[in-house]
Chain A
Amino acid sequence: MEIRVLYFAAAREAVGVGDETVEVPDGLDVAALMRLLAERHPGAGRVLGRCRLAVDRALANPSDPVPAGAEVALIPPVSGGSA
């Protein structure tokens, strides 16, 4: 199945692209997708390892399924606000 992957902030810089479409095995969960993305971008391992994954714009847990056609986003540690 195909999914769309979005990279933000430090993850985008580490990977070198803002988004990509990736062919992945059906029935993948979030943890397996994270491993797959880390293998795909070996130079970005340190940053990707600090990221959480959002599936269709909601933060996901490692055991959550990744549906076909999903839009997933790599979410580095956030720092909204200030002070």
Chain B
Amino acid sequence: MSDEPLSLDAAIASVRGPGAGAIATFVGLVRDRTRGRRVVELEYEAFGPMALAQMESIAGECESRWPGARVAIHHRVGLLRVGETAVSIAAAAPHRAEAFAACRHAIERLKEEVAIWKRERFEDGAEWVGLGP
């Protein structure tokens, strides 16, 4: 987890290895529109120690489900502008099918349960995502 810009290369480098035949990556970006409103910037807040433990646990889950897989999950926190990277995931595996599957699993699990919250800032206000109307 970092409040500095993320490097996908760093995530890739951390999972590269002699057993890896493929690396699948996912990059999540700050989009300029949501639910019909224009987003000015996004703020990510984390419960750091808990979120880190959850991210490690998700990587471990991928690695035991797809033997030989290695997964890195990097998340940005703080204030992000449109177009910036919020999350980078790299999943290495012996073959491409497991690499894609592990990468997909990691991002879906991350969004389900990791203690990170997003506040969208619009031109006319801000709101925490996930609370509904």
Q: Is A79 a contact partner of B129 (Cβ separation < 8 A)?
A: yes
**A side interface size, CB within 8 A:** 21
| Segment of A4-12, A20-28, A31-39, A62-70 in the binding face | A4-12
Residue of A nearest to B80 (CB): A82
Pairwise interchain contact A76-B30, C-beta atoms closer than 8 A: no
Q: Does B118 contact A (CB under 8 A)?
A: yes
CB distance from A47 to the nearest CB of B (A): 7
B22 at the interface (CB under 8 A from A): no
Complex CA gap A54/B59 in Å reads: 20
Q: When the two chains form their complex, are residues B45 and A9 in contact, meaning their CB atoms are under 8 A apart? A: yes
Question: Which B residues lie within 8 Å of A78 (CB)?
Answer: 111-117, 130
Indicate whether A75 reaches chain B with its CB closer than 8 angstroms.
Answer: yes
Contact A81 B113 (CB under 8 A): no
Within 8 Å CB of B112, what residues of A?
A: 78
Say whether A50 faces chain B, with CB atoms less than 8 Å apart: yes
- Size category, B interface: 20 to 34
Contact present for A10 and B117 (CB under 8 Å): yes
Q: For B119, give its contact among A9, A50, A80 (CB under 8 Å).
A: A9
Question: In the complex, A57 Cα to B46 Cα: how many Å?
Answer: 12
B117 touches A81 (CB 8 A): no
Point out which of A9, A50, A57 has the most chain B C-beta atoms below 10 A from its C-beta: A9
Bound-complex Cα distance A45 to B116 (A): 21
Q: Is the CB of B110 within 8 A of A82?
A: no
Q: Which residues of A contact B (CB under 8 A)?
A: 6, 8-10, 13, 47, 50, 54, 57-59, 73, 75-83
Chain B interfacial positions (CB closer than 8 Å to A) = 28-31, 42, 44-45, 47, 49-51, 53, 75, 86-87, 107, 110-119, 128-132
4 A-B pairs closest in CB distance: A77-B130, A9-B117, A82-B28, A80-B116
6 more CB-based (< 8 A) A-B contacts, given A54-B47, A77-B131, A78-B112: A54-B115, A77-B130, A81-B86, A81-B110, A82-B28, A82-B31
